[in-house]
Amino acid sequence: MNKEDLIAMGLTEEQAGKVMEALNGNYVTKTRFNEVNQENGKLKKTLSERDSQMEELKKTSGNTEELQKKIEELQAGNKAETEKHEREIKDLKLTNAIKLALNGKVHDEDMAAALFDREKLILTADGKVSGLEEQLKVIRENKAFLFKDAGSYSPAGGSGAPKNNPFAKETWNMTEQGKLFRENPAQARELAAAAGVKL
């Protein structure tokens, strides 16, 4: 949560500044709390499994060859489990970072999130995701209709023919025109020109 999020929730800039000053960085976001909570649950489960493995080893302590074989099996299994756990935590962190980047900006969060190439996203040591902003910019350019601030009047399929153009004779709508002028004046002028309306 940052100052801009607080302003978007309806606080004035002064109120948002006071809240951030009072918090002084001493808070945990719900996303981070969920990450840590899920990781904690997985670690408890792993510890419980390792305890039961130790009990199994105690039972085979008489036969050295069998014990060695069992230890190697457990080591291989534990390594695979650790790698799986790390992949799950990385995936969770990437999912949370993507959802946070899209929060309140798109019409369909799941659809927009599916467009990110997770293989190209890098989780840094400080918990940030490198490459996220770059991909978000490309998605915004290529799939503008998914974003709330782009309006619903983008050209259909990029062919230049507007879809639901409120300036077109067939779909003339003064309410939508006014809304478009308030939200995106440049796009309003572009659509009016495409419909042959002089402003």
Q: Encode the chain (199 residues) as per-residue pLDDT tens digits.
A: 677 777 887 888 888 888 877 776 666 677 777 887 888 888 888 888 887 887 777 776 667 787 788 888 888 888 888 888 888 888 888 888 898 888 888 888 888 899 999 999 998 888 788 999 999 999 988 888 888 865 444 443 343 333 567 887 777 888 888 888 888 888 888 788 777 787 7
Asked if 2 and 9 count as a contact pair (C-beta separation under 8 A), the reply is: no
Report the amino acid identity of residue 100.
L
In DSSP terms, 162 is beta-bridged to 155
Please provide the distance, in angstroms rounded to a whole number, between the alpha carbons at the two ends of the chain. 41
């991909």: which residue's tokens?
A: 135
Report the amino acid identity of residue 132.
L
pTM for this entry: 0.48
Asked if 177 and 188 count as a contact pair (C-beta separation under 8 A), the reply is: yes
From the CB of residue 188, how many other CB atoms can be counted at a distance below 10 Å?
A: 22
Asked if 88 and 42 count as a contact pair (C-beta separation under 8 A), the reply is: yes
Domain ranges of the chain: 3-105, 151-194
Phi, psi of 60 (to 5 degrees): -100, 20
Give Dmax over CA atoms of the chain in angstroms: 93
